[in-house]
Amino acid sequence: MTYAQITGWGKCIPPASISNDEISQIVDTNDEWIASRTGIKSRRVSHVSTADLATAAALDALACAGIEGKDIDLILLATCSPSTMVANTASMVQKNIGAIGAAACDTNAACSGFLYAMQLATAQIRAGMIKRAVVVAAERMTWYVNWAKRDSAVLFGDGAGAVVLEASDEPSGLLASKIGCDTEDRNILHIANCGTDLNKYEPIGPSDLMFEGREIFKRAVKGMSQACDDVLTQANLSLDDIHVLVPHQANLRIIQAIQQKLNIADEKVMVNIDKYGNTSAATIAIALCEAVENGLIKPHANIMSAAFGAGLTWAASYIKWGERVTPINAPSATLPPCDKTGLELIAESVRHCVDQ
């Protein structure tokens, strides 16, 4: 039997940040509200493109695996904030990492995108169609933010994470997975003024994030815990067998509610929403990478992951880690220097939103 082991992991965290106090200069909010209702203290804003974020994360994942771009058969880029839609952004990543001739495809399942892409790439490796894949999730969610709307403006951030999957005889990688979509509620989370449904000859306003926070919250808790239960059954495991939970980072209270439903102890749960906010598809990819770096993921760990996002897509996965928890080559990818603060990077966008 062939499995798709995770042999490399990497991330790209853009340097400029916006603290809760800084965002309180833009919308009517405050650090106390944001921190207590969401767990977020700061978020990153990117000075480079989604493709650049994805490239840096992918290069570090390749270094970690000790292989090069030319060894890769497939690149799946999970994103709902692509640099370009045609040509797809994955093709730019393919070029940047030197994965000459590799298949390159963007997958958009919003916040569930990384787990969707993991399932798709794993299935191809396990079927013997390909040997090695890079699954990368990269987002510039701050590009979409309406800085006049305090309920959603405080939530989102930018960043990228990536893994390398390689064919292996060892039972490891994604061993059970369930992905789905509850489309009836798709309007409670969407970007308006974006896409080919628009009449491109009519003047249209800027794209806008439409968001019913409380409804999404309820469905996220229910959807993610149900999906976790289904995956445990599929894998024939009990919750006691799970060593680490790596949940989508949308709201600390959502994570805690799932944790409570599943009865998982605090020390088993990977949380980094305080530093980065919600980076959509990238949250789990970044959190997985940081969970290995900080020693939460140990050799042969059983990892449960769950996500929920626009669509309303949902996903849960059981991942078995391999033996190695240290990189073969240290991460060394760099971004061009950033000479602006987070507030300076969003200043023009803020002006447009406030003028509306």
By CB under 6 A, is residue 217 in contact with ligand UT7? yes
DSSP SS3 for 305: strand
Q: Nearest approach, Cβ of 144 to ligand UT7 (angstroms)?
A: 12
How many residues are recorded in the chain?
356
Nearest approach, Cβ of 249 to ligand UT7 (angstroms)?
Answer: 8
Task: Map the footprint of ligand UT7 across residues 183-212, applying CB under 6 A.
Answer: 189
Tell me, by CB under 6 A, how many residues bind ligand UT7.
20
CA distance 8 to 116: 18
Q: Which two tokens stand for residue 263?
A: 């009865």
Q: Does 247 bind ligand UT7 (CB under 6 A)?
A: no
Per-residue buried b or exposed e for 156-166, using 16+ beta carbons within 10 Å of the residue's own CB: bbbbbbbbbbb
Query: Which residue lies nearer to ligand UT7 by CB, 66 or 213?
Result: 213
271 touching ligand UT7, by CB under 6 A: no
The b-or-e profile of 316-331 (16+ CB within 10 A means b, else e) is: bbbbbbbebbebeeeb
**Catalytically annotated residues:** 111, 248, 278
| Distances, alpha carbon 43 to alpha carbons 70, 291, 293, in Å | 34, 19, 20
Stretch that binds ligand UT7, among 100-108, 150-158, 316-324, 342-350 (CB under 6 A): 150-158
Task: Tell me whether residue 38 or residue 168 sits nearer to ligand UT7 (CB atom).
Answer: 38
Residue tagged 């950033």 (tokens): 338
Which CB, 4 or 250, lies closer to ligand UT7? Answer: 250
Q: What is the largest CA-CA distance in the chain?
A: 60
Stretch that binds ligand UT7, among 47-55, 135-143, 214-222, 334-342 (CB under 6 A): 214-222
Residue 222 near ligand UT7 by CB under 6 A? no
Q: Residue 73 or 158: which CB sits closer to ligand UT7?
A: 158
| CB burial of residue 199 (10 Å; 0-12, 13-18, 19+) | exposed
Of the two residues 93 and 250, which places its CB atom closer to ligand UT7 in the complex?
250
Residues contributing to the site for ligand UT7 (CB under 6 A) = 29, 33-34, 37-38, 111, 150-151, 154, 189, 213-214, 216-217, 220, 250-251, 278, 308-309
